[in-house]
Chain A
Amino acid sequence: MAHVELKRIVARYNDFVAVDDVSLSIGAGKFVTLLGPSGCGKSSTLRIVAGLHKPDSGIVQFNGNDVTGVNSAQRNIGMVFQSLALFPHMTVADNVAFGLRMRKAARADIESQVKRMLAIVRLDHLADRFPVQMSGGQQQRVALARALVITPSILILDEPFGALDRKLREAMQVELHALTRQLGITALFVTHDQEEALMLSDTIAVMNRGRIEQFGSPEDIYRSPKTQFVADFMGVTNFLDGEIVDSDATSAKIRVGSAVFSAPTTQVMMAGQSVKLAIRPEKVVIGDPLSPAAGSIDGRVRQITYHGNASRCVIDLASGEALIALQNVTDASPLAVGSLVSARWRPEDVHLFGA
């Protein structure tokens, strides 16, 4: 298992800067995820770690050794591709054995290693099948086994579950989580699915426009997004325009329309400064407008949609902005489209970003 370090990586495609000065440290045995929308540079970063693309500048280190100029075949990495890229003309056993053969391992050694790895992914009974004869989940496990059998310095996974249906994807996520922890392997994972990232990772790097916006534990990223982009990507959908009325080092009062809210801050903010208040939809509480509480805002219900365990209300505010609220179906009083409501939330559920 290796400790992998990226230092000031830049990658350009013609004029487009895909990776813009990215530094990243992946501790030995850690599971790190690059999370972001398509085109954010996460796949380019991953291909640079894999040695499939040369960065224009910057250094890649495995265990402190510079491997930037080392090509993929010599880096000792295990990679799972989005398309899996199983060799269709080889049996499962031959697919798994391929990396060992390239390393000129002894025949008996190859055989026992392949057997052991197939047992780990529970495919020992299908060793002689060809990929085309297997289900999507089984193929997925072959790809994992093929990447892991060579005891790679790092396991690299490029959106490996993208093509699977939801149920299978969840099962594979659980399996991958168990497998990487069991083997204590260093892993770099790429996805655009924040739930997948939260569930699998020790650390997440949220990427946007070729840069890392935030690097931290899943809890960190979810609870305290540092930028509006991260908040947005992690499922915060409400961003209201506001203005600082008053602030000290730990909290601030913000005016939104005619209402005033409090929110935690980490620094003193200047009165009159424009800010964005970000609130998760599930933190919005809808109440009766006739008994207004302090720190609430009035609006009219425009749309209600049913989502099984919750219903989603779109509320038009006086400012013209819309507020989305997710309500637990059982404890919500039945709302009607067109009715006036009052929305509020706890101060600690607000994230403040400079506008």
Chain B
Amino acid sequence: MSAVDLKTISSSAPAAPWRAQFGSSSFLVVPGCIVIVATLLIPLAYVLLLSLNRSQSGVIDLNANFTMANYTKFFFSPFYLRVLAKTIYIAALTTALCAFFGAILAMAIWRAPAHLRGLIVIVVISPLLVSIVTRTFGWMIVLGDNGLINSTLIWLGAISHPLSLMFNDGAVIVGLVHVFLPLMVLPISTALDRVDPNIPQAANTLGASRFVTATQVVLPLATPGIVGGITIVFSLAMSSYITPALMGGPDSGMITTLIYQQFVVTFNWQFGAVLVAILLTVSLVLVGLVLFEFTRRTRKWMVRQ
């Protein structure tokens, strides 16, 4: 077909000129694609490939001698496996707590009268707009030896010596829940906004108590949001570095702590790359499993067949 033919066809097509010029020319997305491919995907691919090179401190160039040696080192070391298990455990616990409390907060936003809703949203989201360093510092003040909780308890006479609340796994989890709770509330809240406001009333007229209405009728309808929140929070918690570094104790190291050491302290880039690859893979697989299970369960009633 010649160029002339193409031209007549496209100009005589009933499709709007908009589509002809903007749709076919998805060229508008090209600069953005270039930015992401060049500054994110290619560097990430480079790192993943680097993980297949023999580790050599300070050497960053890729070579073609690929080996699984670094992965073997990881998977045959009880130390690394323990750190991985700990990372998963902390991320999972954080996610579970966020899901539980996030659902409650989202319900509170949903039920709040219109004039209070904006205020609650600001309260819930405000931590998200403050640097993670600042937030972690705030927790140091709350949990520290002279901090809010210890001072209050001593003042009340409940204790005579400060409890050591900082620098342990508990502190890390408190910090992480604080950091990620808003990210759980928002998707649940958005899902709740899509629920027909008559549905809880219908449950009510049929004799359901508030609790039954919330747990058996409303929250199941918010599962897309809960699952969305779980995937976000879990993968972010898996890769969180600052909170464990500032609030954790000597044995609170997560996989990110190791990653930081490899890249910034020992310059073992290849082994660092292995840790990155394992972090990403484990997050992806676990999140994928959650998504798969969720889709399997809700496909029947969410999708018109």
Binding site for B on A (CB under 8 A): 50-52, 71-79, 81-90, 98-99, 102-103, 130-133, 146-147, 150, 156
B302 near A98: Cβ-Cβ < 8 Å: no
Within 8 A of A (CB), among B173-216: 196, 198-199, 201-209, 212
When A52-B201, A81-B198, A132-B304 are in contact, do A74 and B207 touch as well, CB less than 8 Å?
A: yes
Residues of A with C-beta under 8 A to B212: 102
- Interface residue count on the B side (C-beta < 8 Å): 24
A132 near B303: Cβ-Cβ < 8 Å: yes
User: Pick the contact of B196 from A50, A83, A146 — CB < 8 Å?
Assistant: A83
Residues of B with C-beta under 8 A to A50: 205
When A87-B217, A88-B221, A132-B302 are in contact, do A102 and B205 touch as well, CB less than 8 Å?
A: no
Residues of B with C-beta under 8 A to A72: 201, 204-205
Within 8 A of A (CB), among B254-305: 298, 300-305
Pairs of residues from A and B, 8 with the lowest C-beta to C-beta distance, nearest first: A102-B207, A99-B206, A85-B198, A85-B202, A130-B301, A81-B198, A79-B205, A85-B199
Min Cβ gap B103→A in Å is 16
When A89-B220, A89-B221 are in contact, do A73 and B300 touch as well, CB less than 8 Å?
A: no
- Bound-state CA distance A82–B202 (Å) is 11
Binding site for A on B (CB under 8 A): 196, 198-199, 201-209, 212, 217, 220-221, 223, 298, 300-305
Residues of B with C-beta under 8 A to A82: 198
A-B contact pairs, 9 of them (CB 8 A): A72-B201, A76-B207, A79-B205, A85-B202, A98-B206, A133-B304, A133-B305, A150-B206, A150-B207
Residues of B with C-beta under 8 A to A150: 206-207
User: Pick the contact of A73 from B209, B221, B223 — CB < 8 Å?
Assistant: B209
- Bound-state CA distance A85–B221 (Å) is 12
A88 near B301: Cβ-Cβ < 8 Å: yes
Residues of A with C-beta under 8 A to B303: 132
- Bound-state CA distance A156–B298 (Å) is 31
- Bound-state CA distance A72–B199 (Å) is 14
- Bound-state CA distance A174–B94 (Å) is 56
Residues of A with C-beta under 8 A to B221: 87-89
B199 near A87: Cβ-Cβ < 8 Å: yes
User: Pick the contact of B207 from A99, A130, A156 — CB < 8 Å?
Assistant: A99
Nearest neighbor of B298 in chain A, beta-carbon distance: A89
Residues of B with C-beta under 8 A to A131: 301
- Bound-state CA distance A90–B221 (Å) is 10
* Central interface residue in B196, B217, B301, B305, by most chain A CB within 10 Å: B301
- Bound-state CA distance A189–B264 (Å) is 73
- Bound-state CA distance A156–B301 (Å) is 27
